[in-house]
């Protein structure tokens, strides 16, 4: 089976490896995204949407990640109607269950959820429960008795997108308005 492959971290920091089954209808969108990826100089800093970065450098990295997740999401929306695709986080296949109208911060939260949970699953299978608990990358505030509390963050906007940094966010994200509530 022939397929296109986007390597891990291609769209933004901690983005999944993406496999797309070859199909003539998706060649243009895949080519456009490969060119876009090659043109990127900065893929953003390592930042989880839930942790609310404090420094300017981390904020700028987060905004770059927002651009990357929007680009990846737009490509997957086009591809899903034409051919099969799958995402791999730490060699574990996952779905991309993000809706068309979700806010980019929710997309990043979903991505980071799959990234961290796959990392934990990988370590559980490889090293056992004790080491997984000791080296888990799931933030402690995300751990609940019934599992991680991802739902609290999946639809929220971060501090930067909710209007706290109105003068920076619209410029970086290509918005024409400073009213974050309209996004």
The answer, as to whether pTM is greater than 0.85, is no
Sheet of strand 92-94, all strands in order from the earlier edge strand to the far edge: 3-6, 17-21, 85-89, 92-94
CA 25 to chain CA mean position, Å? 25
Give me the number of domains the chain comprises: 1
Q: What is the pLDDT of residues 150-168, one digit of tens each?
A: 545 555 566 666 655 544 4
Q: What is the pLDDT of residues 98-138, one digit of tens each?
A: 777 777 877 887 887 788 778 777 777 777 777 666 666 55
pLDDT at residue 133, as a whole number: 67
Domain that holds residue 134: 3-182
Reduce the DSSP state of residue 23 to 3 states and report it: coil
């Amino acid at each position: 089976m022939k397929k296109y492959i986007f390597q891990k971290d291609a769209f933004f920091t901690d983005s999944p490896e993406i496999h797309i089954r070859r199909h003539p209808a998706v060649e243009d969108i895949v080519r456009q995204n490969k060119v876009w990826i090659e043109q990127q100089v900065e893929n953003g800093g390592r930042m989880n949407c839930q942790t609310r970065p404090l420094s300017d450098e981390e904020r700028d990295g987060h905004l770059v990640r927002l651009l990357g997740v929007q680009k990846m999401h737009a490509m997957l929306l086009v591809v899903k109607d034409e051919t099969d695709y799958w995402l791999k986080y730490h060699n574990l296949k996952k779905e991309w269950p993000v809706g068309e109208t979700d806010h980019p911060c929710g997309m990043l939260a979903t991505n980071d959820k799959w990234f961290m949970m796959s990392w934990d699953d990988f370590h559980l299978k490889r090293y056992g429960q004790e080491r997984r608990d000791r080296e888990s990358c799931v933030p402690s505030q995300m751990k609940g008795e019934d599992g991680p509390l991802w739902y609290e963050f999946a639809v929220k906007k971060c501090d930067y997108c909710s209007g706290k940094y109105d003068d920076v966010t619209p410029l970086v994200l290509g918005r024409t308005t400073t009213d974050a509530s309209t996004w």
